[in-house]
């Protein structure tokens, strides 16, 4: 019997560096990369485009079930064949995604999508409930965090690089704080640290050091499995 795929689950609040870290770790290890948050963003964008209320569980759940959402090998996101990679990263979609993610029917649809995305070579998945709900038996769970001001600074820099209008750190910080509050207090699969997660505060850490530590931990655990 072949060993099951090695799964790395990376959770944390917005701006903690989950996406860039998970992508780099996956590349270093030759694993697949799963951006679970982008799946919810795709549903949120579809809801906004269709005029559906992001809080309407029945309507948004039915919408999620009707969509074909695909992440390409180069990290692009397609919804029903349309590339929405850039559109799902706007502040408006971020806030709607937080509301959509609280809908139980949407979570039921996307749980199956996420679990089906695991590849034999191994997978690095990131989000807010990866280690607690989606992959509670993940081989390595990591919870990334950083000081709120630093997280807001990072997100502001990211938005400024992609948009023509600059976002202020204060405004982004307020939006992120509201999203963190909503994600942490929702009834279904709230943002939380898994009890057995490796907790890393990245405020003062270099990006390369964060990636190296996680890659090293994966290599150590894989050696222990042999």
| Predicted TM-score (pTM) of this structure | 0.85
Q: Which CATH number fits domain 7-221: 3.40.50.10540, 1.10.3720.10, 3.90.25.10, 3.40.50.300?
A: 3.40.50.300
The 3-state DSSP composition of the chain as helix, strand, coil percent (nearest 5) reads 55, 15, 35
- Is the pLDDT confidence value at 113 over 60? yes
Q: Give residue-wise pLDDT tens across range 10-51.
A: 999 988 999 999 999 999 999 999 999 899 999 999 999 999
In DSSP notation, 118-136 reads: --TT-EEEEESSIIIII-T
What are the domain boundaries of the chain? 7-221
Q: Give residue-wise pLDDT tens across range 41-79.
A: 999 999 999 999 999 999 999 999 999 998 887 888 999
Direct distance between the N- and C-terminal alpha carbons of the chain, in angstroms, rounded to an integer: 14
Residue 166: burial class (beta carbons within 10 Å; 0-12, 13-18, 19+): exposed
* φ, ψ at 124 (rounded to 5°): -110, 115
- In this structure, the strands spanning 77-79 and 82-83 are antiparallel
pLDDT of residue 166: 58
- Is the pLDDT confidence value at 204 over 80? yes
pLDDT of residue 183: 79
Q: Are 159 and 167 in contact (CB under 8 A)?
A: yes
Q: Going by C-beta distance under 8 Å and a sequence separation of 6 or more, which residues neighbour residue 3? A: 225
Residue 206: burial class (beta carbons within 10 Å; 0-12, 13-18, 19+): exposed
């Amino acid at each position: 019997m072949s060993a099951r795929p090695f799964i790395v689950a990376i959770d944390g609040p917005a701006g903690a560096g989950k996406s860039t870290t998970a992508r780099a770790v996956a590349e270093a290890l030759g694993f697949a990369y799963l951006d679970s948050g982008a799946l919810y963003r795709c549903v949120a964008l579809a809801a906004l485009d269709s005029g559906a209320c992001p809080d309407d569980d029945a309507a948004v759940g039915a919408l999620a079930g009707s969509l074909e959402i695909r992440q390409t090998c180069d990290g692009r996101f397609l919804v029903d064949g349309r590339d929405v990679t850039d559109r799902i990263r706007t502040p408006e979609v971020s806030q709607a995604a937080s509301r959509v993610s609280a809908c139980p029917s949407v979570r039921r649809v996307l749980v199956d999508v996420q679990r089906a995305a695991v590849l034999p070579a191994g997978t690095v998945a990131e989000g807010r409930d990866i280690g607690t709900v989606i992959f509670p038996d993940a081989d390595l769970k990591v919870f990334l965090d950083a000081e709120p001001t630093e997280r807001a600074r990072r997100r502001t820099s990211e938005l400024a690089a992609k948009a023509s209008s600059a976002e202020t750190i204060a405004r982004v910080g307020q939006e992120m704080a509201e999203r963190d509050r909503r994600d942490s207090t929702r009834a279904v699969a709230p943002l939380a640290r898994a009890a057995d997660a490796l907790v890393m505060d990245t405020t003062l850490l270099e990006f390369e050091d964060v990636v190296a530590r996680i890659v090293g931990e994966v290599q150590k655990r894989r050696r222990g499995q042999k």
